[in-house]
A and B are shown apart, each in its own frame.
Chain A
Amino acid sequence: MSEPLMLFDEVRDAIVASGGEEIQMCMQCGLCTGSCPWGRMEEKAEFNVRAMFHMGRLGYDGYESDDFLFACTTCNQCGVKCPRGIKIPNVVRSMRSVICETGGIPKNLKAVLGSINSQGNPWSQEKDDRTAWTAGHDVPEFTPDKEYLLYVCCTSAYDGRSQKVARSIVDLLKAAGVSFGIIGNEEKCCGESVRKIGAEEEFGNLARHNIDLFNKKGVKKIITTSPHCLYTFKNEYPEFGAEFEVVHYSELLHNLVSGGKLKFSKPVAKKVIYHEPCYLGRHSRIFDAPRELLGAVPDLEMAEFKGNRDFSMCCSGGGARIWMETKAGQRFSDVKVKEASESGSQVIATACPYCIVMLEDSLKNQNKDEEMSVKDISEILKESL
């Protein structure tokens, strides 16, 4: 099939107007593509970061396709390498927002935005069931005298598997005597991945709603269960006037352990390999807290992936990819599960609900779910209380 090539310079202007001015700084060296996990997959993928920048700048018809622009997981592996210091995930976001305005986003993502608009969560679940995860569990409500708001990610609020993570975090905070509470059904999705779809309008609505709600309730400090919520509350909400102090639960627990307020005594005699969530590590620079927490568990043997910290491979669930299909042979999480299995680990520990979803799927499709499990670090810590 042959098709002619069409160029449109106006497209660059539209990308720049959507906040992607850094697209003009790219010198096409290709270090981004060389470091991108898509290039390391068994099956060759079409996606190429450098080419996408080139196409976007010249306005080739085609850069905006599902397999190209919407393939990026915004893991920021390229961003930490870029010699010009371009914030590549942000340029991807702005390129997507140009397309999103036209309604030209991938079909599966339209359902996500529909659910965000009607239910305030991306999973097409009832907004009134947001606190269903607390059933039979004593979870304090947030009141102005509480120090922290515990903001539970939509995935941990609705996914039966991930609800266990929310409950573990609650138990740990209680054990350490932290003053906290939840708001619950009035909350909406933080919008991190919604913004990565390019849906600026929906993101703005979510951010304004949550900021108003938190202010009204008297929130000053927030604990997040997910690194994605952490990232957007910390880096993007201030654009809308937010002034909250935000921590990921792993940072807070780490401080509590250092301060002697939390101790792990029960041994967990397992070999545990730590999978770095991109939005906790590369994006938020929190590398040590989760490792030191796992290190504080008696008898736990730690293992590391060959690529870790700044060079850790993404699970392929970021940048709204969690809601899109990835062909077998191109799933980053499959590669991670294989490596974890070869390391002889029994548990893959991580600290992000998206990573858990992606890695558990891979455990199943690699038929490793009998020999290994995926756990949030909070679940391991709770076991050790």
Chain B
Amino acid sequence: MAKGIWVYVEQRDGKVKKVTYELLSAGRKAADSLGEELCAVLPGKGVAGIAPGLGEYGADKVYVLESDALEQYTTDGYANAVAALAKEKEPSAILMGCTVTGRDLAAQVAQKLGTGLLTDCTDMALENGQLVFTRPIYAGKAFVKAACPEARPVMATIRPNVLAVEGTQAGRTAEVVNVTPNAGDIRQIIKDTVLQVSTRPELTEADIIVSGGRGMKGPENFKILEDLADVLGAAVGASRAAVDAGWKPHSFQVGQTGKTVSPVVYIACGISGAIQHLAGMSSSKCIVAVNKDPEANIFKVADYGIVGDLFEIVPLLTEEFKKIMAS
């Protein structure tokens, strides 16, 4: 007879994701009603320190799967380890967060266990001794309530931020059970993890944006815009033409088909002002345009226009602002 509700502990670099606590809180209530134990499953490397503290959020027991092979998340390694443990212990339910990792892992584990999986759920409740999950379909137009009446374990991924973290008990500790994980063959190799780091503000949140268009002539020239942006504490943007030319990634694109922005000040450099661009920025409070073509459309929406070579003007602006900001 299958017993125990499991929650997969999602962590990165030893930091537990909030959705894990949400699942533990909800799992605690279900476990109490069913008279079962609540277990956390914690694969990783150097993560044992996290385990006892999970008791505060409701876990009775924490299975720690420590291994060098599980240092970083891989589909094969984690799925093999979690599925092997589940085959041995036969839990009645396994819950995971509906995150990039959770979605990937849950599907693999469900397949290995030959059980069903309810994905992308927004609620969980007990009805007649069954866990019943709510999941939205068609972009939220309708909801279905679904349960897994026969196969065990019942598996589900639940969206982050839909369940509350409640009933935490400070000082309550969980029993820690160390398990030697069976990570099996791992076909994925993590070569490098790249985090996008930017010290400049987010485009859509910035008070000031310095944007460049096709008039920048090349990717290397965005340096002068970045210099100006850094003096002003501004974000850097780009027009579709500059993005199309491959000078900036799409995440920099301002306009109808990119990001809609309305900063206090928008400085458009070498941007002609096609309607798609205007649709994304004309609600800016103050628009400054620098363009060598006096006929450019951008001047029609600009509050201040500078007709001239941006390669001369932008560095001058940077110098002047430096002086003003310093004083």
Contacts and interface: CB of A to CB of B under 8 A. Distances in A.
A241 B282 CA distance: 36
Contact of A99 (B139, B275, B279, B297): B139
Nearest to A326: B257
Nearest to A323: B256
A158 interface: yes
B119 interface: yes
B140 A104 contact: yes
Interface string B151-182: 00000000000000000000000000000000
A123 B255 CA distance: 10
A365 B111 contact: no
A125 B278 contact: yes
Interface string A5-21: 01010110000000000
B258 A325 contact: yes
Interface stretch (A28-36, A159-167, A263-271): A159-167
B139 A124 contact: no
B107 A161 contact: no
Interface residues of A, number: 40
Interface in B258-297: 258, 260, 273-276, 278-280, 282-283, 297
Contacts of B273: 160
Interface in B125-144: 137-142, 144
Interface residues of B, number: 37
Count chain B CB atoms within 10 A of each CB in A10, A11, A108 and give the residue with the most. Answer: A108
A364 B244 contact: yes
Task: Tell me whether chain B's interface is mostly helix, strand or loop, or mixed.
Answer: mixed
A101 interface: yes
Contact of B107 (A4, A8, A124, A325): A4
B139 A102 contact: yes
A111 B256 contact: yes
A120 to B, nearest CB: 14
Contacts of B241: 361, 364-365
B139 A364 contact: no
Nearest to B298: A160
A328 interface: yes
A99 B136 CA distance: 13
B108 interface: yes
B103 interface: yes
Given A99-B138, A104-B139, A361 B275 contact: no
A25 interface: no
B129 to A, nearest CB: 24
Contact of A365 (B138, B244, B257, B279): B244
B104 interface: yes
B268 to A, nearest CB: 14
B6 to A, nearest CB: 20
A376 interface: no
Contact of A98 (B119, B138, B245, B276): B138
A1 B103 contact: yes
B117 A4 contact: yes
Interface in B231-256: 240-241, 244-245, 250, 253, 256
B212 to A, nearest CB: 15
A289 interface: no
B103 A325 contact: no
Contacts of A112: 256
Nearest to A122: B279
Contact of A11 (B138, B214, B253, B279): B138
B257 to A, nearest CB: 4
B18 interface: no
A171 interface: no
Given A1-B107, A4-B119, A161-B297, A102 B141 contact: yes
Contacts of A323: 256-257, 279
Contacts of A379: none
A83 interface: no
Contacts of B240: 361
A357 B276 contact: yes
Nearest to A99: B139
B139 A64 contact: yes
A244 B74 CA distance: 64
B162 to A, nearest CB: 18
Interface in A97-111: 98-99, 101-104, 108, 111
A365 B119 contact: no
Given A99-B138, A108-B257, A124 B279 contact: yes
Contacts of B282: 124-125
B300 interface: yes
A328 B247 CA distance: 14
A226 interface: no
Contacts of A361: 240-241, 244, 274, 276
A165 B202 CA distance: 38
Given A98-B141, A103-B139, A357-B274, 4 more contacts: A4-B119, A111-B280, A124-B260, A357-B275
11 contacts: A1-B107, A4-B116, A8-B137, A104-B140, A124-B278, A124-B279, A124-B280, A124-B283, A132-B300, A161-B275, A323-B256
Interface of B: 103-104, 107-108, 111, 116-117, 119, 137-142, 144, 214, 240-241, 244-245, 250, 253, 256-258, 260, 273-276, 278-280, 282-283, 297, 300
List the 5 closest pairs (A to B, CB-CB), nearest first.
Answer: A104-B139, A160-B297, A159-B275, A102-B141, A325-B257
